[in-house]
Amino acid sequence: MDPKRYEHLTISVEPHEMRMSHWVYAPRVVDARDGRVLLDLSGGPWDLVSSAPSTAAVELLLRKYPGDGEALCLSIRLADNSLWLAGQPVAAEGLARALDKAQG
């Protein structure tokens, strides 16, 4: 899958097989201006369902494998590259924990 570019953000997926023929397309987001990795969920259970720009952010719709729960929307604000989940700021290093908590 080719990377997508929104403003200065490049979004790619790192596919990995969770079980036989069950693939997860984990997102990786890089600031193309300086190469800084903002988000890397590679090797984990979070699958990128879709990505779309809004006026101030890029919205990533994520679903946790095996896909039984609701998809979650993670926003990356273009002005400062901050991560937002359910209207709350999230530090990149705490994102996996925050996603699991939001999933319930």
Task: Check residue 21 and give its pLDDT.
Answer: 79
Listed in order, strand segments (DSSP E) in the chain are 4-6, 9-19, 22-31, 36-40, 46-53, 57-64, 72-77, 83-85, 88-90
Q: What percent of the chain has pLDDT over 90?
A: 70
Convert the pLDDT of each residue in 48-99 to its tens digit.
999 999 889 999 999 999 878 899 999 999 999 999 998 899 999 999 899 9
Let me know: does 30 contact 41? Beta carbons within 8 Å.
no
Task: Check residue 7 and give its pLDDT.
Answer: 87
Instruction: Please state, in angstroms and rounded to a whole number, the distance separating the CA atoms of residues 89 and 21.
Output: 35
Task: Check residue 94 and give its pLDDT.
Answer: 92
Task: Check residue 98 and give its pLDDT.
Answer: 95
